[in-house]
């Protein structure tokens, strides 16, 4: 459609273009505002159909210079959502709801981030907010407040507009973005709805995105040491690793008993009982970013005491009877 073509051209060179065998032009969209409007045309006729929201999680493609691994790639995973509204009040309520939901997501992931008022750029519209995670590997430079979530890309600002604290200049990774698009797309593509009084208005629209791949990269950038990734409990594939520090069938059977007890309590547990050396088992547990190791070794076979070791190498000893109590304290 001509509307889609003109809007796509406004996005700049970051949108991959291709031609099929019939000579027809195609665009591999980086986001899907236009497609969401086309979908909304079939579902929104009157004010009774508003407000509504579509979302998807999938792969995106961008004709960009790939660098810094997952932070900027030509192919990436993204959650994008599009909301449609009859009034500015309804749009603002949904927009604020997405901002709060994104805060909860990033807080659970343990990220240090700022919410930065941003320019809508080629997306159009009236308002937007970026979520930027602090990282030296990031390509965004901004002023960050350490006392609240405030941030700004105006590098001349030295005092926080939210709490009055001093700001510092840092680099960061954009991990989420919310756009108040107004009627930019609905006017261009003819998306209207019938008001309660029978008149017609253009639908108001907002879009939202989380760069899932970038979020993982940001978590790693903020949580690692010289031994590898240090996942927090919300991200790690495993809550506990069991390291068999003794060769022999008796130790192996006891390790499996520990594994079963922890797993039956609802924890995700990784058991190292293969042919690797003890040192390799410890190193691999650290490399995978598992925060707690339960060591089954000589002490357990002789005295019945397990050794619990945290990522920071703090150790605790406990009996099998008290295992769950001690593990729950440490994870």
> For the domain that residue 264 is a member of, what is the CATH number?
3.40.50.800
Across the range 214-236, mean pLDDT stands at 89
pLDDT reported for residue 281: 87
CA–CA gap between residue 280 and residue 295 (Å, rounded): 13
Question: 290 and 161 in one domain?
Answer: no
Q: Which tokens go with 107?
A: 């807080």
Last residue of a domain, one of 191, 222, 253: 222
Q: Which domain holds residue 307?
A: 240-330
According to DSSP, the β-strands at 127-134 and 113-117 are antiparallel
The residue that leads in pLDDT, 51 or 17, is 51
Inform me whether the pLDDT recorded for 3 exceeds 80: no
Task: Judge whether 255 lies within some domain.
Answer: yes
What are the CB-based long-range contacts (under 8 Å, 24+) for 227-230? 227/283, 227/286, 227/287, 228/286, 228/287, 228/288, 228/289, 229/287, 229/288, 229/289, 230/289, 230/291, 230/311
Number of domains in the chain: 2
Question: 255 and 218 in one domain?
Answer: no
Across the range 207-218, mean pLDDT stands at 94
The count of other CB atoms within 10 Å of the CB of residue 41 is 15
The residue that leads in pLDDT, 303 or 126, is 303
pTM for the structure as a whole: 0.82
Question: 316 and 280 in one domain?
Answer: yes
Where residue 199 sits, what CATH number does that domain have?
3.30.930.10
Average pLDDT, the chain: 87
Across the range 198-209, mean pLDDT stands at 95
Last residue of a domain, one of 157, 188, 222: 222
pLDDT reported for residue 10: 45
pLDDT reported for residue 120: 55
Across the range 300-320, mean pLDDT stands at 89
How remote is the C-alpha of 300 from its chain's centroid?
40
CA–CA gap between residue 123 and residue 214 (Å, rounded): 20
Question: 153 and 255 in one domain?
Answer: no
Task: Judge whether 173 lies within some domain.
Answer: yes
Give the model confidence (pLDDT) of 275-301 as tens digits: 778 888 888 888 889 999 999 988 888
Question: 198 and 258 in one domain?
Answer: no
The residue that leads in pLDDT, 179 or 29, is 179
pLDDT reported for residue 184: 92
Task: Judge whether 205 lies within some domain.
Answer: yes
Inform me whether the pLDDT recorded for 1 exceeds 60: no
Residue 93 binned pLDDT confidence (cut-offs 50, 70, 90): very high
Task: Judge whether 232 lies within some domain.
Answer: no
pLDDT reported for residue 25: 76
- The neighbouring-strand residues paired with 173 are 133
Residue 272 binned pLDDT confidence (cut-offs 50, 70, 90): confident
pLDDT reported for residue 9: 53
């Amino acid at each position: 459609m001509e509307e889609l073509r003109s809007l796509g051209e406004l996005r700049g060179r970051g949108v991959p273009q291709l031609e099929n065998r019939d000579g027809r032009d195609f665009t591999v969209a980086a986001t899907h505002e236009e497609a969401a409007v086309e979908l909304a045309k079939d579902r929104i006729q009157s004010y009774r159909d508003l407000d509504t929201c579509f979302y998807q999680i999938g792969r995106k493609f961008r004709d960009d210079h790939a660098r810094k691994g997952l932070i900027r790639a030509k192919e990436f995973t993204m959650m994008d959502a599009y909301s449609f509204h009859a009034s500015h009040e309804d749009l603002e309520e949904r927009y604020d709801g997405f901002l709060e939901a994104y805060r909860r997501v990033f807080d659970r992931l343990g990220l240090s981030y700022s919410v930065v008022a941003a320019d809508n750029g080629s997306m159009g519209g009236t308002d937007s907010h970026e979520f930027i995670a602090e990282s030296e590997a990031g390509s965004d430079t901004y002023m960050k407040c350490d006392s609240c979530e405030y941030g700004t890309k105006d590098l001349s600002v030295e005092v926080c507009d939210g709490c009055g604290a001093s700001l510092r200049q840092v680099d960061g990774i954009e991990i989420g973005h919310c756009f108040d698009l107004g009627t930019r797309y609905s006017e261009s593509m003819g998306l209207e709805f019938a008001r309660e009084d029978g008149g017609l208005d253009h639908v108001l629209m907002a879009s939202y995105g989380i760069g899932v791949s970038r979020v993982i990269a940001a978590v790693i950038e903020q949580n690692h040491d010289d031994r590898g990734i240090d996942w927090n409990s919300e991200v790690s594939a495993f809550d506990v690793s069991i390291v068999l520090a003794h060769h022999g069938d008796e130790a192996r059977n006891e390790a499996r008993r520990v594994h079963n007890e922890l797993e039956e309590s609802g924890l995700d547990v990784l058991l190292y009982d293969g042919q690797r050396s003890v040192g390799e088992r410890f190193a691999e547990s650290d490399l995978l970013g598992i925060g707690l190791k339960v060591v089954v070794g000589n002490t357990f076979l002789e005295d019945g005491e397990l050794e619990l070791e945290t990522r920071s190498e703090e150790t605790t000893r406990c009996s099998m009877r008290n295992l769950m109590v001690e593990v729950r304290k440490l994870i």
